[in-house]
Structure 1
Amino acid sequence: MTGRNGAVVRRMQLGRVLRELREQAGLSLEVAAPALDWSSSKLSRIENGHQGIDVHGVRSMLDLYEVGGERWTELIELTRAVARKGWWRAYGLDDTGYVPLEAEATSVRDVTIGFVPGLLQTPDYAKAIFTSRLRPYAPSELSNAVAARTVRQQRLVRDDDPLTLIALVDEAVLRRPVGGPDVMRAQCAHLVASAGIDRVTLRVLPAGLGAASAMAAGFTLLSFAGIGAPDIAYVEHPFGSVRTDKESDVARAAARFDRLYAIALTSDESVALIQRVAAET
């Protein structure tokens, strides 16, 4: 069991709350930062979730903002939660990528154009993806990467800390021979089996849609029920990744997802297409 621990999401959540408390106290960055013996830029980074903060720092902020009682206790516990190492650290991953975000999410909406979603990949398919990198993984790195992906997938079927997935996959992904015919046949069989999981909705964007499908860039929307964190839109690109919780950006991504979902094949039609592609492979 991994346990829920998303240091990035929790740090962003903590920063938002601390900013709200400063504003409620009527203090500007320029006034609050010197009172804490910090620079304005450091306080801004903390409030934006770009820099961590320890319990001592949070206590100083709460004293300055005159916060006490249950609110004090809640924020100290949140600070400790941020500091705890996530399960992914054991697999050589840090807190800067996608996995820490997903670890705290309760639902994921995913659009993939180039490959099968990580949450639905078989180990052999994942290995083929990882070994295609410009900088090849060392054997231990490859093993860790595949194992971490397997740990992520367990949340789709676990009763504790469950994760819901709605995945939209371009038909071209099914026909791209990643790892060779045997790997792809097994991957298609796994997709069919995964489509039967209660928490998984899998729909294919058929090639017949033309530009409506081909022009859609892949992206992920993550939701965090129960912890008061806003949705996050996440996009990977060849030079890194971008994440945002800006309301207007997330709303545009959600509208795009809804549009693609509406024109995709139904779940039953998607399974039938996957089975046909597997038979042709």
Structure 2
Amino acid sequence: MIRRRVLARQLKLLREQSGLTLEQAAPKLDFSVSKLSRIENAQVVIDVHWVKSMLDVYDVGGVRWNELLELAREAQQPGWWRAYGLGNNSYIAFETEARRVQVFTLGYVPGLLQTADYARALMRGVPVRRTDEELDNEVAARMYRQQRLNSEENPLELVTVVDESALYRPVGGPEVLRRQLEQIAVLADLDTVTLRVLPSAVGAHAGLASSFTILSFGELGEPEMAHVEHTIGALILHKEAEVARARVAFECVLSDALDPAESLALIQRLARR
């Protein structure tokens, strides 16, 4: 999804640099104006042959030609999550390309830190019908996502603030929660993970309405986006003003949270209990 967006943005830029409007470029490509517009807005999967035609019309060659064709091929590849029987899940597609995620969660531990038992119990607690196989696949996919926290080739930086209430909620029962707290303590020691706990004593705070995530894409050059979870679904937010509000909210909960050492000490105490 992200690579499709990057490719689309590059193709639009090349058209503009060639001095062609949508109305001028479309007939040269045997496209309708609406089709070319959808391509440039990443609303369709972009065929490699289309890209070759566009590069010809926009007089692009050499190294740039090869780079964009390779990007087009990458954009067509099915996501790894398809092997788990999952559809084109927007959030997983975006997180897979992200370099950093900033996560605030209210009533539960973030997915990137969950144990399999905790994740399974959490998924069973929501009113979404799943077969046993679908549940197994979703849990396995969540565990797969966590591998990037330890990856040397493709690391993912996680900065997370967890509401203190989540550390007491016995999702799956006391023993599942204890093992979950132990895992958090282990993962919090990774160089890629910054974990902070927002104390209940803070009272009202900027994230009280919902959990949310901010995704950053590093060298891909794609603008940040926000993912907001709520009881009956989730939203992906792309508009700069909306993402800016999410950034402000995250900075607020971050400033109210315990520092990493205090947060880890609290989690370790709770795990021993």
Tell whether the structures are fold-level matches, with TM greater than 0.5.
yes
Q: Is the 8 A contact 1:205 1:213 kept in 2?
A: no
Q: Which residue of 1 aligns with 2:70?
A: 77
Q: Which residue of 1 aligns with 2:39?
A: 46
Q: In the aligned structure 1, how far is the partner of 2:174 from the partner of 2:74?
A: 45
SS in 2 for 1:98: helix
The alpha-carbon deviation at position 206 of structure 1 amounts to: 0.9
Q: Is the 8 A contact 1:130 1:137 kept in 2?
A: no
User: Quick one: which of 82, 90, 112 aligns to 2:83?
Assistant: 90
The alpha-carbon deviation at position 274 of structure 1 amounts to: 2.1
SS in 2 for 1:159: coil
Question: What's the TM-score once normalised by structure 1's chain length?
Answer: 0.90
Q: In the aligned structure 2, how far is the partner of 1:169 from the partner of 1:125?
A: 15
Q: In the aligned structure 2, how far is the partner of 1:62 from the partner of 1:23?
A: 12
User: Quick one: which of 198, 206, 210 aligns to 2:199?
Assistant: 206
The 1:195/1:56 distance shift into structure 2, 3 A limit, reads: same
Q: Is the 8 A contact 1:111 1:168 kept in 2?
A: yes
Alignment deviations for residues 92-120 of structure 1 (CA, whole Å, 9 cap, x no partner): 12333211211111211111113211100
Alignment deviations for residues 2-25 of structure 1 (CA, whole Å, 9 cap, x no partner): xxxxxx110111111111112222
Counterpart of 2:216 in structure 1: which amino acid? S
The alpha-carbon deviation at position 224 of structure 1 amounts to: 1.9
The alpha-carbon deviation at position 228 of structure 1 amounts to: 2.6
Aligned length, in residue pairs: 273
SS in 2 for 1:168: strand
The alpha-carbon deviation at position 236 of structure 1 amounts to: 2.9
Q: Is the 8 A contact 1:115 1:173 kept in 2?
A: yes
Q: Is the 8 A contact 2:161 2:196 kept in 1?
A: yes
Q: Which residue of 2 aligns with 1:5?
A: none
User: Quick one: which of 210, 216, 230 aligns to 1:217?
Assistant: 210
Further displaced range: 73-82 or 244-253:
244-253
The alpha-carbon deviation at position 239 of structure 1 amounts to: 4.4
Counterpart of 1:167 in structure 2: which amino acid? T
User: Quick one: which of 250, 265, 269 aligns to 1:272?
Assistant: 265
Alignment deviations for residues 173-202 of structure 1 (CA, whole Å, 9 cap, x no partner): 112221111111111111111111121111
The 1:125/1:141 distance shift into structure 2, 3 A limit, reads: same
- Superposed, 1:156-195 pairs within 5 Å as 156-195=149-188
User: Quick one: which of 248, 252, 257 aligns to 2:241?
Assistant: 248
SS in 1 for 2:89: coil
Counterpart of 2:175 in structure 1: which amino acid? D
Q: Which residue of 2 aligns with 1:3?
A: none
2:113 is equivalent to residue 124 of structure 1: no
Question: Unmatched 5+ residue regions in structure 1?
Answer: 1-7
Q: In the aligned structure 2, how far is the partner of 1:233 from the partner of 1:18?
A: 25
Q: In the aligned structure 1, how far is the partner of 2:58 from the partner of 2:89?
A: 30
- What's the C-alpha RMSD, in Å, of the aligned pairs? 1.9
Identity across the alignment (%) = 52
Q: In the aligned structure 2, how far is the partner of 1:36 from the partner of 1:185?
A: 61
The alpha-carbon deviation at position 264 of structure 1 amounts to: 0.7
User: Quick one: which of 2, 17, 24 aligns to 1:24?
Assistant: 17
Q: In the aligned structure 2, how far is the partner of 1:204 from the partner of 1:52?
A: 41
The 1:61/1:168 distance shift into structure 2, 3 A limit, reads: same
Q: In the aligned structure 2, how far is the partner of 1:141 from the partner of 1:128?
A: 14
SS in 1 for 2:56: helix
Question: What's the TM-score once normalised by structure 2's chain length?
Answer: 0.92
